[in-house]
A and B are shown apart, each in its own frame.
Chain A
């Protein structure tokens, strides 16, 4: 079978997706599965998706064997304990989606049911007070979690904010050291095999042809191979997620970076705030039928805390996914595969998930249909899960101050999400699948943060009795608060661990 193994893997596009793919393939294939080539052109800018990540990024870096402090220095990274959502459920609201659970199960019943009961008993502590990630984030504190499962310091995870272009450069060095061949050039033509429509080669400006067995399309929104050459088709989800543009503008840091991302809802979209060591990443995601580019840009600029350090850049997108992420011998990874707005920092995760699944369904030159079908099924499931989670943020709003929000509150949503919301509203039970990215805490954060309060709690809460709840919950809250207070500040954690050499470079 060895003679059927791939000999030439060609990655088209060198942004975050391209270099993440190249780095991981070079690591896993270890020079034993032919050549890996990445074609990119210095003339084409990259979108630099991400900047904010979720904790799963650690597994990726760990598999590459990356030193955390070195990587953080190289990418001006900061730590991240969650995402703060401002003005989503109602104007004036703020809640945090933390990377760690609320409280602890009691007698096999999830903590939030006890919390729900505590509201009826007249207690009014917000649920966030029982999550160490939440409390530490809001107090601008950070320390690495403990691996000691008995310690409260083991109850949270963390991710990073980093400069995505610097991350791509860092991974480029990594990949090139492991034999990935970077080819400079712009692709001007794609040749398909006449018999089966597989991609045979791509042609660079200047006439050179690059052949390959497997092509990975990391060319961004345009989908140079998957769409322009293979006409795979795109499934448009903008009826559920109507934002279709973003304007990005970095600014000077004027305060110490906080260990969380902030997403502030506006009139027709939302603004991100991503604190890095050397600058603040800012942007405004909006719906072009409700807001002009100029208005959106003006809003973004008006909210900057420090001076802008680059011209605002407008991006256009259509939320949705490619009908097949893997078509014939071409796999779309990154924006070429689909786009979901970065509200929950999932862009890099979707790249990571695509790479992981590719390695689990790695082809040879036979390109079996069963493997391709299973890959596509797996990626669809991941995209749809993130899609539903994002839609929840728009649907669960009581805002009626603009047409945009009125439309969101009234839109019909996928059945898969409807079922989850109804279930939680009726019973407080969170539907999630153990293999999913978002589990109980994640859904809870958004439901409760946006005023979906269950009608009831789990009846088994009454086994413990109300007095137990009156005593126990304040104790738990105090333990969390004390643990947060003992952590160093986020700024000093960065200083100690991973201060970039030239912070303002």
Chain B
């Protein structure tokens, strides 16, 4: 029987590194494995949001989410508001909640479609408590009681990545992770096995382990530099390769949502934390200069902003994520513009998957190939979800949007679209990151109407259906008014002495 791994080295740099360390340490608590994190903790400033799935991650860690929220100044979000993807400047909500309930086994959206196709504009958002809460700035925790409408909502967090990383580091250190506050600068590979042999710090110290996690971010020190695993470039699908961020000291608008607005040369998002708001603008560097981008962003913000901070986005993913004794998590594994496809949640999902496939010292390639197969699906699903927005957008009023019109659509997304365009049906697999309702919200929000709705819609008595739909809408309206305001909820959570 092969021996268990004894020494795990996490090469940091990416904002997910401390969380990865914390999770591994917690999962291996009680064993003799030694875990080392190399991270100077300098490059983590920024803002990120999580998907509802990240709750599983906190649970696995035994992490108290409430103290995470209060300790890092995070806010809740129940989805995102989109505007400007279409020429008609239509707005829609991409909420984490459910919309209505199935009627006679048919998905609720089919009945909405029936009305929309008959030019009776029923709005999908009206049937979702999470969407209503976003519009009214309300928040409550979901309920376990299936009879309560509160059981239909889900939420993620908007977090300051530096504070989040600090909290994770604290947790990791308490779980016996050895933290070395400097970065690795190179790695060596064993000639015969192709395994990583050691990593070297700036001062020349070599750190050896028998398993390495490459969380070095876009440098990809191990998976790229040392192991030369190829990178699949997705610029044919996704247009943005630059991002600029500014922060302002705005605490006025505490809606539980991320606001996404398209602009002439890309799109921007606003994420509200407890003590500031961050604006990010995603654009294409060949079409729009950094200065231009910063200007387009600050224009809207109006108030004094922090210095703009730029970064590159290398749209794509590794050909494989686990090679030999090295697994890449975070931007070393792949990078996708952050249109509601949370890189943080993807990293959380990756480390949960890694723990469920945790290897022995021989790092059997069969296990690595299963990890790679599943992780690849995650990235491809996320790519398709972002690509959907560009595929369905009809804007062509600038060089950027003209470029978007020429982007490709993957075969998997084409398949999904052609099925939806037939009768509003969704090709969807149970292990996808985005729920069926996420897809339907985006498809309907981007005005992708099928030729017809499901013919079985006609089986139910139309009057009873209309009546039921009205009841759902009214129940949503009533329930949202019973939810606390998001700012009040946060204030309560933080306790009597606000920060």
Contact B360 A434 (CB under 8 A): no
Task: Indicate whether A374 reaches chain B with its CB closer than 8 angstroms.
Answer: yes
A433-B431, A462-B4 are known contacts. Are A33 and B458 too (CB-CB below 8 A)?
Answer: yes
A370-B422, A371-B422 are known contacts. Are A456 and B452 too (CB-CB below 8 A)?
Answer: no
How many residue pairs link A and B with beta carbons under 8 A? The number is: 109
The stretch of A180-188, A278-286, A354-362 in contact with B is A354-362
Mask, A1-44, CB within 8 Å of B = 1, is 11011100000000000000000000011101100000000000
Task: Indicate whether A364 reaches chain B with its CB closer than 8 angstroms.
Answer: yes
Task: Indicate whether A288 reaches chain B with its CB closer than 8 angstroms.
Answer: no
The answer for the CA separation of A433 and B428 in the assembled complex, in Å, is 13
Point out the residue from A33, A364, A431, A463 that lies within 8 Å of B29, measured CB to CB: A463
Chain B residues lying within 8 Å of A458, measured Cβ to Cβ, are: 358
Task: Indicate whether B456 reaches chain A with its CB closer than 8 angstroms.
Answer: yes
The answer for the CA separation of A455 and B104 in the assembled complex, in Å, is 48
Task: Indicate whether B464 reaches chain A with its CB closer than 8 angstroms.
Answer: no
Mask, A363-391, CB within 8 Å of B = 1, is 11010101100100000000000000000
Contact A422 B455 (CB under 8 A): no
Contact A2 B30 (CB under 8 A): no
Contact A431 B458 (CB under 8 A): no
Task: Indicate whether B206 reaches chain A with its CB closer than 8 angstroms.
Answer: no
The answer for the CA separation of A370 and B367 in the assembled complex, in Å, is 35
Cβ-closest chain A residue relative to B454: A362
The answer for the CA separation of A455 and B370 in the assembled complex, in Å, is 17
Mask, B355-389, CB within 8 Å of A = 1, is 11111100010110110000000000000000000
Mask, A444-486, CB within 8 Å of B = 1, is 0000000000011011101111000000000000000000000
Q: How many residues of B contact A (CB 8 A)?
A: 42
Contact A33 B366 (CB under 8 A): no
Minimum Cβ distance to chain A for residue B351 (Å): 13
Task: Indicate whether A299 reaches chain B with its CB closer than 8 angstroms.
Answer: no
Task: Indicate whether A435 reaches chain B with its CB closer than 8 angstroms.
Answer: yes
A360-B425, A465-B30 are known contacts. Are A370 and B459 too (CB-CB below 8 A)?
Answer: no
Cβ-closest chain A residue relative to B427: A374
Contact A370 B364 (CB under 8 A): no
Chain B residues lying within 8 Å of A368, measured Cβ to Cβ, are: 422-423, 451
Tell me the B1-43 residues at the A interface (CB within 8 Å).
1-2, 4-5, 27-31
The answer for the CA separation of A1 and B454 in the assembled complex, in Å, is 10
The answer for the CA separation of A362 and B355 in the assembled complex, in Å, is 41
Cβ-closest chain B residue relative to A462: B31
Chain B residues lying within 8 Å of A423, measured Cβ to Cβ, are: 366-367, 370
Minimum Cβ distance to chain B for residue A369 (Å): 8
The answer for the CA separation of A28 and B34 in the assembled complex, in Å, is 59
Point out the residue from A427, A431, A435 that lies within 8 Å of B359, measured CB to CB: A427
Task: Indicate whether B418 reaches chain A with its CB closer than 8 angstroms.
Answer: yes
Task: Indicate whether B117 reaches chain A with its CB closer than 8 angstroms.
Answer: yes
The answer for the CA separation of A8 and B431 in the assembled complex, in Å, is 37
Point out the residue from B29, B366, B430, B456 that lies within 8 Å of A427, measured CB to CB: B366
Minimum Cβ distance to chain A for residue B281 (Å): 37
The answer for the CA separation of A405 and B105 in the assembled complex, in Å, is 46
The answer for the CA separation of A29 and B105 in the assembled complex, in Å, is 11
Task: Indicate whether B419 reaches chain A with its CB closer than 8 angstroms.
Answer: yes
Task: Indicate whether A239 reaches chain B with its CB closer than 8 angstroms.
Answer: no
Chain B residues lying within 8 Å of A463, measured Cβ to Cβ, are: 27-31
Indicate the size class of the contact surface on chain A: 35 or more
Minimum Cβ distance to chain B for residue A389 (Å): 18
Cβ-closest chain B residue relative to A108: B60
Chain B residues lying within 8 Å of A460, measured Cβ to Cβ, are: 27-28, 31, 355, 358
Tell me the B434-464 residues at the A interface (CB within 8 Å).
451-456, 458-459
The answer for the CA separation of A343 and B88 in the assembled complex, in Å, is 59
Chain A residues lying within 8 Å of B369, measured Cβ to Cβ, are: 419
The answer for the CA separation of A120 and B430 in the assembled complex, in Å, is 36
Contact B455 A33 (CB under 8 A): yes
Task: Indicate whether A426 reaches chain B with its CB closer than 8 angstroms.
Answer: yes
Contact B31 A361 (CB under 8 A): no
Contact B370 A364 (CB under 8 A): no
Task: Indicate whether A97 reaches chain B with its CB closer than 8 angstroms.
Answer: no
Task: Indicate whether B482 reaches chain A with its CB closer than 8 angstroms.
Answer: no
Chain B residues lying within 8 Å of A141, measured Cβ to Cβ, are: none
Chain B residues lying within 8 Å of A363, measured Cβ to Cβ, are: 455
Minimum Cβ distance to chain A for residue B3 (Å): 9
Contact B370 A4 (CB under 8 A): no
The answer for the CA separation of A56 and B403 in the assembled complex, in Å, is 50
A419-B370, A459-B358 are known contacts. Are A371 and B423 too (CB-CB below 8 A)?
Answer: yes
Contact B104 A28 (CB under 8 A): yes
The answer for the CA separation of A5 and B4 in the assembled complex, in Å, is 62
Chain A residues lying within 8 Å of B419, measured Cβ to Cβ, are: 370-371, 374
The answer for the CA separation of A2 and B429 in the assembled complex, in Å, is 30
The answer for the CA separation of A423 and B421 in the assembled complex, in Å, is 39
The answer for the CA separation of A435 and B30 in the assembled complex, in Å, is 34
The answer for the CA separation of A28 and B105 in the assembled complex, in Å, is 9
Cβ-closest chain A residue relative to B417: A370
Minimum Cβ distance to chain A for residue B451 (Å): 8
Point out the residue from A4, A419, A464 that lies within 8 Å of B452, measured CB to CB: A4
Mask, A407-425, CB within 8 Å of B = 1, is 0000000000001001100
Minimum Cβ distance to chain A for residue B459 (Å): 4
Contact B453 A434 (CB under 8 A): no
Minimum Cβ distance to chain B for residue A147 (Å): 13
Contact A359 B31 (CB under 8 A): no
The answer for the CA separation of A463 and B452 in the assembled complex, in Å, is 56
Contact A462 B30 (CB under 8 A): yes
A363-B455, A364-B455 are known contacts. Are A459 and B423 too (CB-CB below 8 A)?
Answer: no
Cβ-closest chain B residue relative to A33: B459
Chain B residues lying within 8 Å of A490, measured Cβ to Cβ, are: none
Point out the residue from B358, B429, B453 that lies within 8 Å of A1, measured CB to CB: B453
A360-B425, A423-B370, A456-B2 are known contacts. Are A435 and B458 too (CB-CB below 8 A)?
Answer: no
Minimum Cβ distance to chain B for residue A326 (Å): 14
Chain B residues lying within 8 Å of A120, measured Cβ to Cβ, are: 1
Contact A456 B370 (CB under 8 A): no
The answer for the CA separation of A464 and B367 in the assembled complex, in Å, is 23
Contact B31 A459 (CB under 8 A): yes
The answer for the CA separation of A462 and B27 in the assembled complex, in Å, is 10
Chain B residues lying within 8 Å of A108, measured Cβ to Cβ, are: 27, 60, 355
Chain B residues lying within 8 Å of A28, measured Cβ to Cβ, are: 104-105, 456, 459
Instruction: Rank and list the top 10 A-B pairs by shortest CB-CB distance, nearest first.
Output: A463-B30, A435-B430, A434-B430, A368-B422, A370-B422, A459-B4, A32-B459, A364-B455, A1-B452, A370-B418
What residues make up the interface of B, taking CB atoms closer than 8 Å to A? 1-2, 4-5, 27-31, 60, 104-105, 117, 355-360, 364, 366-367, 369-370, 418-419, 421-423, 425, 427, 429-431, 451-456, 458-459
Listed A/B pairs (30) with beta-carbon separation below 8 Å = A1-B453, A4-B452, A5-B455, A6-B455, A28-B104, A28-B456, A29-B456, A33-B456, A108-B27, A108-B355, A120-B1, A359-B105, A366-B452, A368-B451, A371-B423, A374-B419, A374-B427, A419-B369, A423-B370, A426-B366, A427-B357, A427-B364, A427-B367, A429-B367, A431-B370, A433-B429, A435-B430, A435-B431, A460-B358, A462-B4
In the complex, besides A427-B359, A456-B1, A460-B355, 19 extra interface pairs with C-beta distance below 8 angstroms are: A1-B453, A28-B456, A28-B459, A30-B459, A32-B459, A363-B455, A364-B452, A374-B427, A419-B366, A423-B366, A423-B370, A426-B366, A427-B366, A427-B367, A435-B430, A459-B4, A459-B28, A459-B358, A463-B30
What residues make up the interface of A, taking CB atoms closer than 8 Å to B? 1-2, 4-6, 28-30, 32-33, 108, 120, 359-364, 366, 368, 370-371, 374, 419, 422-423, 426-427, 429, 431, 433-435, 455-456, 458-460, 462-465
